[in-house]
Amino acid sequence: MAGLYIHIPFCVSKCFYCDFVSYGGKLALAKEYLKAVKKEASFYDTLCPRTIYIGGGTPSFLPAEEMESLLKFINEEYSEGFKEFTFECNPESVNEEKLALLKNYGVNRISLGLQSFNDGELKLIGRAHRAADFLKAYEAASKYFDNINVDLMAALPSQTEDSFLRSLKKLIALKPKHISLYGLQIEEGTPLYEQGYSYEEDFYVRLLELGYKELAANGFKQYEISNYAREGFESIHNTNYWFNGEYLGLGAAASGYLKGVRYQNLCGIEEYIKSVNEGRRPVLSEEELKGKAKIGEEILLRFRYLKGFKPCAQMLKYFGGEFETLKEEGLIEADGELLKLSRRGKYLANEVFRRFVEPF
């Protein structure tokens, strides 16, 4: 099964924790950018994606006219039926007109960024919306879509166990079908990093554990490190990533994986457009993983999906020692013949993953 990812790098403003490729103040480039995305698609062999994900950035920040242009192109270029078509939205930039457009052009899954119901916490992380804006957007989206994901974050500045649980319980009461619960990562170069914000690891783990228990008690199954779903609403597109499936990535900074080769596009909007307009694939880097590097990435991806996996002979040859060390550290565990992240390992997954990707 193949997937299609399109990156929309425009935002109202940059959140204080965000290290994704996104830009505020550049929406005037949207029309030219989307023309480049459509042209980039022509550089690749015909693809019949079963899943599509429009992410960012903030795709819902596009003007309705440009949004419709993109959706129309997708329907014309990739005319096969989509099992799942996800569009990311933020509360401050989505409205009834845009939601109706999405519905009319075949989008069947919406992902809404909430992060917290506490307005003070939202302000401290630079979000452009407040809790009331989210509730208004969620109510509108619910008129058009049954399958809605909502993003929530843990370990935010000034957050307490009580405030985190209040946000989570309020979200659960809205009855979304899918919740992505992320622990805040402090990335170098972001405003939160520059401000010197940090948190205790035990506090971070405790919040995620509280989240797991609350979600499980309310019928949500954790099927991936950061993702919880009601039965039958697991993300098909993201599951394709975790099982090393092929996908085409279009747009600035988009990544793709085709015919065993991983690539990432140029990050700057202007340089991306220039490359495409000159008839060149806008690729920053690409690599065909082989040997130990390929096996290590496969292990990383399989650990993300929490059911566990049976390590093959090559996995044991290259990383048998790492498996044993991680067991001793309590970050992974054996379940019969399967290996999987332990409860603590789920919350400290990056510590596990770094053992399997270069530098080893």
Q: How far apart are CA 85 and CA 83, in angstroms?
A: 7
The partner residues of 42 in beta bridges, in order of sequence, read: none
Average pLDDT of the residues of the chain: 94
Q: Are 148 and 112 in contact (CB under 8 A)?
A: yes
Distances (CA, A) of 171 to 117, 156, 174, 181: 8, 17, 5, 11
Span 6-16, pLDDT tens digits? 999 999 999 99
Q: How far apart are CA 5 and CA 49, in angstroms?
A: 10
Q: How far apart are CA 299 and CA 318, in angstroms?
A: 11
Residues of the chain with CATH 3.20.20.70: 3-241
Residue 47's pLDDT is 81
pLDDT confidence of 247, banded at 50, 70, 90?
Answer: very high
**φ, ψ at 33 (rounded to 5°):** -60, -45
Q: How far apart are CA 320 and CA 323, in angstroms?
A: 5
Residue type, 169: K
Does the structure show a pLDDT above 50 at 360? Answer: no
The single-letter DSSP state of residue 132 is: H
Q: Are 48 and 83 in contact (CB under 8 A)?
A: no
Span 54-87, pLDDT tens digits? 999 999 999 999 999 999 999 999 876 789 999 9
* Structure tokens, 232: 């039958």
Strand 227-229 relative to strand 247-250, pairing? unpaired
Residue 306's pLDDT is 86
Span 294-333, pLDDT tens digits? 999 999 999 988 888 999 999 999 999 999 999 999 999 9
- CB count within 10 Å of CB 309 equals 16
Residue 177's pLDDT is 98
Residue 45's pLDDT is 87
Does the structure show a pLDDT above 70 at 38? Answer: yes
SS (H, E, C) 218-253: CCCEEEECCEEECCCCCCHHHHHHHCCCCEEEECCC
* Structure tokens, 328: 């001793």
Q: What percent of the chain lies above the pLDDT cut of 70?
A: 99
* Structure tokens, 69: 């242009």
Burial of 79 (0-12, 13-18, 19+ CB in 10 A): exposed
Q: How far apart are CA 292 and CA 308, in angstroms?
A: 20
Does the structure show a pLDDT above 70 at 51? Answer: yes
Residue type, 267: C
Span 81-100, pLDDT tens digits? 789 999 999 999 999 999 99
- Reduced to 3 states (helix: H, G, I; strand: E, B; else coil), residue 339 is strand
What class, spelled out in words, does domain 3-241 have in CATH? alpha beta
The pLDDT of 177-203, averaged and rounded, is 94
| Tokens 């401290």, residue located | 124
Q: pLDDT: is 186 or 1 the higher one?
A: 186
